[in-house]
Each structure stands twice: as structure tokens, then as C-alpha cells.
Structure 1
């Protein structure tokens, strides 16, 4: 599995991806690759990002 897709191993990220893909698979894939690249470049992971923001998954992606 490519580094940018490793995030899918986490249950919450998989759920977020699947929900996004239900609307648009292409957009969900772009979001996932962007998330993976960001985490790779900054040496972090999705859970750490949510802890920093204090918003949780729903608040983080709510815009």
C-alpha cells in the first residue's frame, strides 16, 4: 500500500473516506491522497491532527 493510502487502515479515516466516496469517489480519493501527503510531510497522522484541533472528525471536515 502506498504511503498516502496508509490512512485507510484507521477505522475513522475509512469511514470518512467511504462517506465522501458515496458522493464522489474522485473527490474522496483526492482528499485521501492530500491527507496522506500532509501527514507524510509533517510526520503526523490523522488522529494527532484531530487532537490538535480539538474538533473531532465531524467538526474537522464540517465546512
Structure 2
């Protein structure tokens, strides 16, 4: 647990993702993938949207920096 007002590294990264400009992008996922994303998001206390954005950002950052 974190103290009130103190964000975890994951929450900080999600906040960083929220302050950027966005364009709507629709994508279809298999049901099993949606259920897994929802489970992980609930476990971490964030939205499924946040998990997807975070994981994509991490992957793209790795590709760009390698």
C-alpha cells in the first residue's frame, strides 16, 4: 500500500500518459484477452484502458530506444 497522496510508479506512468494528446483508435480484442486485461487492471486498481496504453507505451519505447 502507498500513503495517501503518494503515487506508485505505475500510477505516475498512467498520469504521464493522460496528459498527452489523443486520437481515437478502435481495436477488436478476443474475449479471453479482454478478460485478462480486466483482471490485471482490477488487480492493479486501474482501468483496462490504462493497462493497454501503458503496455503499448513501454513496448514502443523499447523499440524506439533499441
Normalised by the size of structure 2, how large is the TM-score?
0.37
- Answer with 1 or 2: which has the greater Rg: 2
Indicate the structure whose relative CO is greater, using CA pairs within 8 Å and at least 6 residues apart.
1
